[in-house]
Structure 1
Amino acid sequence: MAGRLIVGTDEAGRGPLAGPVVAAAVVLTRPQREILLDLGLRDSKKLSEARRESLFLSMSRLGVLWRAQAASPARIERMNILQASLWAMKRSVLALAVEADRVIVDGNRLIPGLPFDQRALPGADDIVPAVAAASVVAKVLRDRAMTALDRLYPQWGFARHKGYGTASHREALRRLGLCPIHRPSFCRKILP
């Protein structure tokens, strides 16, 4: 694939009880890829928050081309989480405004309606640098969004758990009920 334009795409936030799902699409040049790999680029789930933020800053300094799109909790409820994730991935890839030779999608589903050659690859975020970079971008942006949303809804503790179903989040749900950024279909089993 040398010399071909590869786009990597991934999402963050499919499992939480609250907040958006965020997808990112990334193109890496060979020098960018080598520098980022030397800095420890890999699947965002295997990196600390500090390491993800550092890599995100390095991508900015290197001029890495990326785009991201969030699917709101309302869209997730309307479409379902898989379709909302694929929608956000498609929007991210198209927003790059490049003619991709191939799009590598983390997971086992292709993106419907995308006008480029695609390959769905489970675990791509750990083996394809552009997908790993997309996973970092998506996770950093989603975590930042949840921290910002915590200022609007501090009682639920979103800055700490980022909307995931931790014990403290479940307790807050039982005590306070839903706020506007919760995903009602995800919370049904927790609420009385």
Structure 2
Amino acid sequence: METTQITSLQTLNNFLSERDNNENVFFISDIPEVCKEYPCVLGIDEAGRGPVLGPMVYGTAFCPINESTLLVDLECADSKALTEEKRDNIFEKLCNASNKIGWAVEVIAPNTICNSMLSRSKYSLNQVSMDAAIGLIRAAVNCGVKIEHVYVDTVGPPEKYQAYLKSIFPKLKIKVAKKADSTYPIVSAASICAKVTRDHALQVWKFQEGLELSHKEFGSGYPGDPLTKKFLVDNCDPVFGFPQLVRFSWSTASKALENTAYHVEWEDVDEETTPPANTTSITSFFQMTNNKSTTKTEHSFFTQRGLSRKVEL
């Protein structure tokens, strides 16, 4: 976690453009002194849970309870009901009110989402979401925010999620609800921080695969978007699959792969058969050797996707 001074959309863009798309990014604003002195309300919401492209972003906002009317004055509302221009405008206002309002976000990379959902030990998107929310609350507490009330937009059954959070933060008053982003202004503020961050993360996205595409060319990232569908068809390598912008664990991506990727049939291995002495291991094709030593390092294809070898073949 890092504390950063995001004072405008421009500084947000600059910050995001310097980060690695393959890694999660967690940052929190400077903490207003009033948030350390007076009881605060804190809200949590996400943006980008459903798209097949790009990161999912979890956001939080917090302010003193006696300053809650400020959120209404700033026109905080459910980010999905606002235009992009309106969201950006409100985000600028939130930044300008940094003496009374603080916020934080976690940008969860597509790699993280896919590797979690496809891991051998089941780790669902709901659990990824809950862990992000817990991390945001802990970050605020560790930074000295005097939290009293917490409002969270639900993931799954609200009662079950609320009980789970209460077991972790027994001293806090926690309310988990459906459509909390349109009910509680502090959750609306969190929703705007998350949505604006995701939008601008896509705008400054750098393709490590060498593609030179504007965010306008791959659309919103939602499976039903024609531009997104076209992007998936046009940018699928028959061997290596999709660019890292794509959540390859989504069924939309899997279906696109079926029509584009090479079909591979794996032969059964006879465990009693010893391979010839001159047989080259397939793993050697995915390693690079340093000219000055015999030390082998993982190929960038694996390191960029957060993959590591667990068993020697």
Cα 1:136–1:151, aligned 2, differ >3 Å: closer, same or farther?
same
1:102 maps to a residue whose letter is H
Are the equivalent residues in 1 in contact too, given 2:42–2:151 (CA < 8 A)? yes
**Between Structure 1 and Structure 2, which shows a larger proportion of helix residues?**
1
Equivalent residue, structure 1, for 2:135:
91
Cα 1:144–1:31, aligned 2, differ >3 Å: closer, same or farther?
farther
Kindly state the Cα deviation for residue 73 of structure 1 after the two structures are TM-superposed: 1.3
Equivalent residue, structure 2, for 1:185:
249
Q: Any gaps of 5 or more consecutive residues in structure 1?
A: none
Equivalent residue, structure 2, for 1:67:
104
Equivalent residue, structure 2, for 1:33:
68
Equivalent residue pairs, number: 189
Cα 1:53–1:33, aligned 2, differ >3 Å: closer, same or farther?
farther
Deviation by residue 1:146-175 (Cα, 9 ceiling, x = unmatched): 1111666444x5346242221111112112
Equivalent residue, structure 2, for 1:173:
232
Kindly state the Cα deviation for residue 128 of structure 1 after the two structures are TM-superposed: 0.4
Aligned residues: CA RMSD:
2.3
**Which one has a bigger Cα radius of gyration?**
2
CA distance in 2, matches of 1:86, 1:106: 11
**Residues 1:138 and 2:194 are matched in the alignment:** yes
SS of 2:104's equivalent in the other structure is strand
Are the equivalent residues in 1 in contact too, given 2:41–2:64 (CA < 8 A)? no
CA distance in 1, matches of 2:53, 2:125: 12
Identity value in percent:
28
CA distance in 1, matches of 2:105, 2:228: 27
Q: Which one of the candidate residues 104, 107, 116 is aligned to 2:151?
A: 104
* Larger relative contact order (CA 8 Å, sep ≥ 6): 1
Q: Any gaps of 5 or more consecutive residues in structure 2?
A: 1-37, 117-122, 237-241, 260-313
TM-score (norm 2): 0.55
Equivalent residue, structure 2, for 1:164:
222
SS of 1:42's equivalent in the other structure is coil
SS of 2:147's equivalent in the other structure is coil
Kindly state the Cα deviation for residue 15 of structure 1 after the two structures are TM-superposed: 0.5
SS of 2:246's equivalent in the other structure is coil
Equivalence map 1:75-86=2 (5 Å): 75-77=112-114, 78=116, 79-86=123-130
